[in-house]
Amino acid sequence: MRIVPGIVLAVTAVVLTACSGSSSGPSQGSASSSTDPGSTTAPVTTQPAQQDCKAGYLAQFTLRQKLAQLLTVGVTGADDAENVVRTEQIGGIFIGGWTDRALLANQQITEVTKASRTPLMVTIDEEGGRVSRLGALIGTVPSAREIVASGISPEQYYQDSLVRARKMKALGITVDFAPDVDVSSQPDDSVIGDRSYSNDPDVVVEYADAQIRALQDAGIGAVMKHFPGHGSGSGDSHTGAVRTPPLAQLQEKDLVPYRALVGSGAAVMVGHLDVPGLTTPNVPASISPEVMDLLRKGTGYGAAPFDGVIFTDDLGGMAAITSRMSIEDAVEAALVAGADNALWITTDAVSSVLDRLVSAVEAGRLPGSQVDASVLRMAKFKGTAPQC
């Protein structure tokens, strides 16, 4: 597996204090698992000294703050961002098409990050083509499909993407929800369309790998999307339910990029997809325990197990979810299912979502050990995990 640079270099003093004894090595004693019975999180066997180190890191957070680390929300500008970070200590903010670009262009993001006790994820959708939020700041690039059609090699694409990723990093971006690894022959202007590199999964793997490497080498976290594959789906999850071909058919094409790139160090975004043979009817992939289990274990589609971060697609602005449930219901369902981070596009419901999540843990619907595992995964993705 490729060694991935941390996407955030700063580590708070409290983290250093909590893990100051982690270099002494494991103490004597039998190994134990950090996962509660019934949790959807895969068991991780650790020695007592490792448990102590991880417990020290987690001890800096209240339960509410742990849960806040598992949220990424869209912001309108600097004031909105600083308020939600300062008051609720959320783990990440999302820069959308509606966000005041002064947040990045005028380095207002610096003051926002100072309001966070732990390094803050600053996330964006910057694929190129029609899904671009930074064109006015760092220039535009063609869509994924156009890039492949131009004949540019994957290595040259890596070099060009690295230049662009370094510009993103200089603006304060730490996570890009890219690349889109959907395999599709849909028309260019359809929901996936020209966002897909190709209808050939091997071509998708080559070019997606190049973009992942470029983002990571610039110090930005990459996120593959939309698991388990939107490219052959019927419908647009922005406007309603999307049904994919059965799981057996996804194996042949849509799941190939994940099978090949699951060890790349990139996170994975799960889409709002109804998948016959995998999801329960009317339970889209983003809130489906079966989908999270498929990704975590890997055995159901011939891949290695995945212990990286699982993001949801937007839970607050896409009808595939909002027509079925409230944001509070959706975020709880996603985390209970096994997602590590719930994404939506506004700060309005952050407090009510956290109230619900605290109740879910206290009532036993969301296992505390599962929350801890997700917090540690998020810390590793940010580059601030305890060195146990």
pLDDT in tens, 47-79: 666 778 899 999 999 999 999 999 999 999 999
- Across 101-134, b (16+ Cβ under 10 Å) vs e yields eebbeeebbeebbeebebbbbbbbbbbbbebbbb
pLDDT in tens, 332-387: 999 999 999 999 999 999 999 999 999 999 999 999 999 999 999 999 999 988 88
What is the C-alpha to C-alpha distance for residues 151 and 361, in angstroms, rounded to an integer? 52
Identify the architecture of domain 64-72+121-382 in CATH.
Answer: Alpha-Beta Barrel (3.20)
Q: What are phi and psi of 69, to 5 degrees?
A: -65, -15
Tell me what pLDDT residue 116 has: 97
pLDDT > 70 in the chain, percent? 87
* pLDDT-wise least confident of 96-110, 138-152, 233-247, 298-312: 233-247
Query: Which tops the pLDDT comparison, 318 or 218?
Result: 218
Q: Which residue do the tokens 């197990």 mark?
A: 305
Tell me what pLDDT residue 306 has: 98
Q: Where are the beta strands (DSSP E) in the chain?
A: 32-33, 45-46, 71-75, 92-95, 121-124, 175-176, 221-227, 242-243, 267-270, 273-274, 310-312, 342-344
**Contact yes or no for 215/221 (Cβ under 8 A):** yes
Tell me what pLDDT residue 53 has: 87
Tell me what pLDDT residue 47 has: 63
Res 40 pLDDT > 80: no
**Contact yes or no for 76/94 (Cβ under 8 A):** no
Tell me what pLDDT residue 48 has: 66
Q: Domain coordinates of the chain in residue numbers?
A: 64-72+121-382
Average pLDDT in the chain: 89
For the CA atoms of the chain, what is the radius of gyration? 20
| Band (23; pLDDT cuts 50, 70, 90) | very low
Res 221 pLDDT > 80: yes
What SS3 string covers 225-289?
A: EEECCCCCCECCCCCCCEECCCHHHHCCCCCHHHHHHCCCCCEEEECCEECCCCCCCCCCHHHCH
**Contact yes or no for 61/88 (Cβ under 8 A):** no
Has 272 been annotated as catalytic?
no
What is the C-alpha to C-alpha distance for residues 249 and 239, in angstroms, rounded to an integer? 24
Res 283 pLDDT > 50: yes
Candidate list 182, 313, 340, 372, residue with the active-site label: 313
Candidate list 100, 200, 238, 293, residue with the active-site label: 238
Tell me what pLDDT residue 46 has: 54
pLDDT in tens, 180-216: 999 999 999 999 999 999 999 999 999 999 999 999 9
Query: Which tops the pLDDT comparison, 332 or 36?
Result: 332
Once rounded to an integer, what is the mean pLDDT over residues 306-324? 92
Once rounded to an integer, what is the mean pLDDT over residues 307-332? 93
Q: How far apart are the first and last CA of the chain?
A: 19
- Across 19-46, b (16+ Cβ under 10 Å) vs e yields beebeeeeeeeeeeebbeeebbbeebeb
**Contact yes or no for 178/222 (Cβ under 8 A):** yes
| Band (147; pLDDT cuts 50, 70, 90) | very high
